[in-house]
Amino acid sequence: MISEHRHRRRVQFYETDLAGVVHFSWYYRYAEEAEHAMWRAAGLTIASAGADIGWPRVAASFEFHEPLRFEDEFEVLVRVAAVTDKTIRYTTVITRDQTTIATGTHTAICVSKRPGEPMKAVSIPADLAALLKVAVPTRD
C-alpha cells in the first residue's frame, strides 16, 4: 500500500541561503524526496526505465512556520491525501523534533509519455490505483 512515509534528513550547507536558513525551493525537493522514498518502501518506483507514463506536478504549495538551518535534523512526513482517476494529491509536514517547520501539498497527474506524441493526462493504471490508499491523518 502507498499511503504515508516518514523520511529523516539533515540540512546540507548548499541548501541554505545568505540568511543561513534553508532556501524555500528546497522544501519542494524534500517533499519529492520523501514521496519517492514512500514509493520505494512499497516496492515501486515513480519512474521506471522505459515506462510510458510519468507524474508531472500540476500544483504545489508550502507554508513556512519556522526556519531550518545548516546541520538541523528533520523529518518529512508525506501522505496520500486524495486520489482521482488521474491525480494523486499529497500532503507534507516537515518537523524538527516536535516543532512544525512547514506544511504543504503537491498534486501529480498521470500522463502518457510516448516518444513522438504530446504528453496527455491518462487514468492511473488499475494495478497502481489498487495500491493507493488515502492516509487517515493522525495527530503527530
Asked if 77 contacts 116 with a C-beta cutoff of 8 angstroms, the reply is no
Asked whether residue 134 is domain-assigned, the answer is no
Asked whether residue 45 is domain-assigned, the answer is yes
Reference 121, options 54, 39, 26, 40; nearest CA is 54
Asked whether residue 138 is domain-assigned, the answer is no
Asked whether residue 55 is domain-assigned, the answer is yes
Asked whether residue 10 is domain-assigned, the answer is yes
Asked whether residue 136 is domain-assigned, the answer is no
Asked if 45 contacts 39 with a C-beta cutoff of 8 angstroms, the reply is yes
Predicted local distance difference test score (pLDDT) of residue 1: 80
List per-residue pLDDT tens for the chain, 140 residues long. 889 999 999 999 999 999 999 999 999 999 999 999 999 999 899 988 888 999 999 999 999 999 999 999 999 999 999 999 999 999 999 999 999 999 999 999 999 998 889 999 999 999 999 999 887 666 55
Which cell is 99 given?
516543532
Q: How far apart are CA 56 and CA 34, in angstroms?
A: 16
Domain range for 83 is 4-129
Please give the tally of structural domains in the chain.
Answer: 1
Q: How far apart are CA 140 and CA 95, in angstroms?
A: 10
Asked whether residue 99 is domain-assigned, the answer is yes
Q: What CATH number should be reported for the domain holding residue 56? A: 3.10.129.10
